[in-house]
Structure 1
Amino acid sequence: MPTNHPPLRSADAGQTMTAIVTTGGGGYDRLEVSRVPIPVPAEGEVLVQVLAAGVNNTEINTRLGWYSSSVATGTNDAAEDLSGQTSTRPDGGWNTATPFPLIQGADCCGRIVAVGRGGDESKVGARVLIRPCMRTQGFSSMETSWLGSDRDGAFAQFVAVPEHEAFTVDCDWSDAELATIPCAYGTAENMVRRAGITSESRVVVTGASGGVGSAVVQLVKRRGGHVVGIASEAKQDRVRALGADIVLGRDEALSALGAESVDVVIDNVAGTSFPAMLSLLKRGGTYVSSGAIGGPLVELDMRTLYLKNLTLIGCTAWDAAVFPSLISYIERGEIRPLLAKVFPLNQIADAQREFLDKAHVGNFVLIPPEALYY
């Protein structure tokens, strides 16, 4: 059920909040529990009290500078290789350099506590999810600004965002459950939509036990598609429970399914298994990706691409319908949250370490200390 929060008292000028400030690229020592000014919402913005914030690969990758072309390893290896480095890579963020120091956090469930000049005061008190992928030049452009990577995010007690990026949600989920949705499910819904998946589609989902992968399984099944989930043996029963029709280990997918046996591959793992994923696709099939936790550099035989008439789709900028659709799925009970574990905000390093162990299914969530002021 939603958390019942007492009303906030108005803040004095210069009131501060608790936040995790990422001071630069590097290891966990770059995550500092800090007191910083509460943001003041500008015209067209709202101030949101953060009730729960999700943990994602993107925050770890951004801190490490993993998006730099100089990095050739997967997320876990990069966490070991890059953790001792403190220099900021000029191309290490979502959009060139990351603007350190930065409050990270792409996933936010919160409630609106103030509006900027001329804003809609009736929205104060509403529980909302914030759309993390902001299309700053409209949906005709692929330019994006990401919450927690390009602008201050949800690893704090408060965050200011454009009013149109805060979506009211009416459901009986807890704050922590809602915080599992924005980044993982938005990314998943965007890929599923772009791939054009229908009830006739046979779809391979790699990393099916992770935050994005488990969301993809649910969203494909919601459309009536046939899901082949790829997961480690220890997690396969839980992936089946999500609705996957078949669950396999990554190394056995090609031998078990056979070449040219599926319509779509949704793959956020990549790495050395990329060629096998393309081999699985039927002629005219579609490969979709928004990540590469197993390694960003892959081997591509161009003959496989053009002789099989494959379509490769990269998905970062979300389409306009993605987030409103997710809100409707939640409110109609068509998807369910996968909350793996909750941590206090100041235990973010422990949460990220455990996250990288990949022993969980679903999402981790951080809970900020309760705020008395805004």
Structure 2
Amino acid sequence: MSDVTTMRAISQDVLGGPEVLREVRLERPAPRPNEVLVRVRAAGVNPTDWKHRENGGFLGEPPFVLGWDVSGTVEAVGVGVADFRPGDDVFGMLAYPFGHGSHAEYVSAPARWFVPKPAGIDHVQAGALPLVSLTAWQALVERAGLREGQRVLIHAAAGGVGHVAVQIAKARGAHVIGTASAGKHEFLRSLGADETVDYRETDFAEAVKDVDVVLDTLGGETSVRSLGVLRPGGVVVSILPVGSDDFPREAERLGMRAVRMLVDADRQGMREIAALVESGRLRASVERTFPLAEASEAHRAGETGRTTGKLVLVAD
């Protein structure tokens, strides 16, 4: 048990494999004006976590505490916070990339990054949702303007972002095509996917045509080749923000749109996500949970690339 001045957290002193992660004691943060101190109950583990663990990414050299998803209980509020009070259950995403730090017992962050946790889901479900849901929402709705009746192709549709994107696209009234290995097709159909493509056996660029929107979660050549399945005026939104100039150049040549983006914290987006959860149209599939102290095992599981849905750390 932690005392009132310290907390458990998962940190690292060097870049490397899952073995560099270790449980440490850090000073427990205090909320500044317009911030809330949240007792973290659950926090998702995402590919960006193990990529930063291994190569530093946007964060540079350690030490640092990873994690952007948060579901928990407000412990204290800073001066000026009007929307929450101690005891409120909330969920949200810390600002990407520099708001990291949710793989710990507590996190202090701006109140506007959080919304009330829907009563119908537990903290594990809520902790799995923020980063992947905001990514999918911002890509499909804000960047692509996905509308009812449009056709959307979602790459890696059974993964963290993908399986949420399928549900958001269906909620928008779209016709959804998802790529995944054959063993995950039944899962995709249970989420509402209208068509499935086994990427191991079938070239999506040959099998899929006349798409309005492609959500590219893979990057590289997938971004460029996805342009070829679009209808005139269509758009490929890649959640991998860097890569070859071939992607925008080919889009311009074909008269299509190419968009690269990073997710960011957004209260209005979280409200939309919460509303979808409350209406029963969105739910995270959680393959496995891990105690906070076993963060390294969660990273190992995630890096296999075989996860369906999400992995979640539980801090209780």
Q: Which residue of 2 is the match for residue 341 of structure 1? A: 288
Q: TM-score, normalised by structure 1?
A: 0.77
Q: Choose the corresponding residue for 2:222, options 264, 267, 273.
A: 273
1:150 correspondence with 2:107: no
Mapped contact 1:274–1:298 kept (Cα < 8 A)? no
1:187 correspondence with 2:187: no
Query: Could you list the per-position Cα deviations for residues 50-76 of structure 1 after superposition, in whole angstroms to 9, with x for gaps in the alignment?
Result: 0001000111111222xxxxxxxxxxx
Q: Which residue of 2 is the match for residue 63 of structure 1? A: 53
Q: Which residue of 2 is the match for residue 354 of structure 1? A: 301
Distance 1:17 1:320 in 2: 27
Q: Choose the corresponding residue for 1:252, options 174, 184, 203.
A: 203
Q: Which residue of 1 is the match for residue 39 of structure 2? A: 49
Distance 2:83 2:150 in 1: 45
Distance 2:25 2:302 in 1: 26
**1:123 alignment partner, SS class:** coil
What is the correspondence of 1:1-374 to structure 2 with a 5 Å cutoff? Answer: 12=4, 15-65=5-55, 92-93=57-58, 97-98=59-60, 100-120=62-82, 123-133=85-95, 146=96, 149-193=97-141, 194-250=143-199, 251-258=202-209, 261-291=210-240, 297-298=243-244, 300=246, 304-318=250-264, 321-368=268-315, 370=316
Question: Aligned-pair distance for 1:286?
Answer: 0.4
Mapped contact 1:41–1:47 kept (Cα < 8 A)? yes
Mapped contact 1:22–1:104 kept (Cα < 8 A)? no
Query: Could you list the per-position Cα deviations for residues 164-220 of structure 1 after superposition, in whole angstroms to 9, with x for gaps in the alignment?
Result: 222112322111011111000110010011201111211110010100011110000
Distance 1:18 1:199 in 2: 46
**2:109 alignment partner, SS class:** strand
Question: Aligned-pair distance for 1:273?
Answer: 3.2
Could you tell me which runs of 5 or more consecutive residues in structure 1 were left unpaired when the two chains were aligned: 1-7, 66-87, 134-145
Mapped contact 2:32–2:78 kept (Cα < 8 A)? yes
Question: Aligned-pair distance for 1:109?
Answer: 0.4
Could you tell me which runs of 5 or more consecutive residues in structure 2 were left unpaired when the two chains were aligned: none
Q: Which residue of 2 is the match for residue 78 of structure 1? A: none
Question: Aligned-pair distance for 1:99?
Answer: 6.3
Distance 1:202 1:124 in 2: 44
Mapped contact 1:284–1:309 kept (Cα < 8 A)? yes
Question: Aligned-pair distance for 1:332?
Answer: 2.4
Relative to 1, partners in 2 of residues 1:22 and 1:199: Cα closer, same or farther, differing over 3 Å? same
**2:69 alignment partner, SS class:** coil
Distance 2:83 2:168 in 1: 35
Mapped contact 2:36–2:111 kept (Cα < 8 A)? yes
Question: Aligned-pair distance for 1:302?
Answer: 6.6
Distance 1:29 1:303 in 2: 41
**2:227 alignment partner, SS class:** helix
Distance 2:38 2:205 in 1: 47
Query: Could you list the per-position Cα deviations for residues 107-132 of structure 1 after superposition, in whole angstroms to 9, with x for gaps in the alignment?
Result: 11000011124544961100001232
Mapped contact 1:270–1:298 kept (Cα < 8 A)? no
Root-mean-square deviation over aligned CA pairs: 2.3
Identity between Structure 1 and Structure 2 (%):
29
Q: TM-score, normalised by structure 2?
A: 0.91
Relative to 1, partners in 2 of residues 1:309 and 1:125: Cα closer, same or farther, differing over 3 Å? same
**1:128 alignment partner, SS class:** strand
Q: Which residue of 2 is the match for residue 73 of structure 1? A: none
Relative to 1, partners in 2 of residues 1:320 and 1:20: Cα closer, same or farther, differing over 3 Å? closer
Relative to 1, partners in 2 of residues 1:232 and 1:24: Cα closer, same or farther, differing over 3 Å? same
Question: Aligned-pair distance for 1:32?
Answer: 1.5
Distance 2:153 2:7 in 1: 44
Report the AA paired with residue 364 of structure 1. L
Question: Aligned-pair distance for 1:303?
Answer: 6.6
Distance 2:215 2:12 in 1: 31
